[in-house]
Amino acid sequence: MIPFRDENPSRRFPIMTALLIAANVLVFLYQQNLPAQGAYIYGAIPARLTGAAGLRGPALEPAWLTLFTAMFLHGSWLHLIGNMLYLWIFGDNVEDLLGSFRFLVFYLLCGLAAAGLQIFMTVNPAARQVPMLGASGAIAGVLGAYALKFPRARIRTLVFFFIFIQVVVLPASLVLGFWFVLQLLNAASTPLQATGGVAFFAHIGGFVSGMVLVLCFGPKRKQRRALP
């Protein structure tokens, strides 16, 4: 099940969503010119962030900055395109709801919450030295907010039936609910001693934090009209 468009138009062009997508693409292009250890310099490494001793090699200082730089790094074109597709489909309406600046703050906070849960759940010493990369935690927060605020929005989705592909229009609550349950199942089936792979706990942390934060932020304030 792959969503590719929603039928929930926003009232204005989502400038911050577009800027975030542009930033992710530009950073990925810049990544291609980095040396092999670039991911270890700018990626969020759990062991480094928790102050573990014995780590060697170049590193961005202070270490907490990597929580932000890691949100704009990706492991491959497929990783980047998948994340940016979800951000483009669902980001515009959440930005419309919050306003552009507050949407940026919301996005970054979701990314921090996602990284925090992933770091907490990474218990294998070897895995704690693997850098976390990607915007998926922050984007999961956008999905959580969208699912809560626009549950009945119609989402055009590619559904695969063996070798057949069908376009189906489904409510956002079903599409995003299915995505979240899939993250829970994958997280439950992934051994805590695993040393890498998809950061399912980051997706879960981002999604839940998005649902909570969008309630805390509330809708943007309407501008007062001048009295005649």
What tens digit of pLDDT does each residue of 146-195 get?
Answer: 999 999 999 999 988 878 888 999 999 999 999 999 999 999 987 765 65
Output the pLDDT for position 127: 86
Least confident of 39-43, 74-78, 89-93, 135-139: 39-43
What tens digit of pLDDT does each residue of 111-159 get?
Answer: 999 999 999 998 888 888 889 999 999 999 999 999 999 999 999 999 8
Task: Give the residue-averaged pLDDT of 10-30.
Answer: 96
Which two three-digit tokens encode residue 26?
């530009």
Output the pLDDT for position 61: 86
- For the cut 70, the answer to whether the pLDDT of residue 222 exceeds it is no
In CATH, the number for domain 8-151+173-217 is 1.20.1540.10
Least confident of 91-100, 155-164, 175-184, 201-210: 155-164
What tens digit of pLDDT does each residue of 27-43 get?
Answer: 999 998 887 777 888 99
Starting from the edge strand earliest in sequence, which strands make up the sheet with 164-171, in order?
2-6, 154-161, 164-171
Task: Give the residue-averaged pLDDT of 78-92.
Answer: 97
Q: Which has more pLDDT, 222 or 178? A: 178
Output the pLDDT for position 92: 97
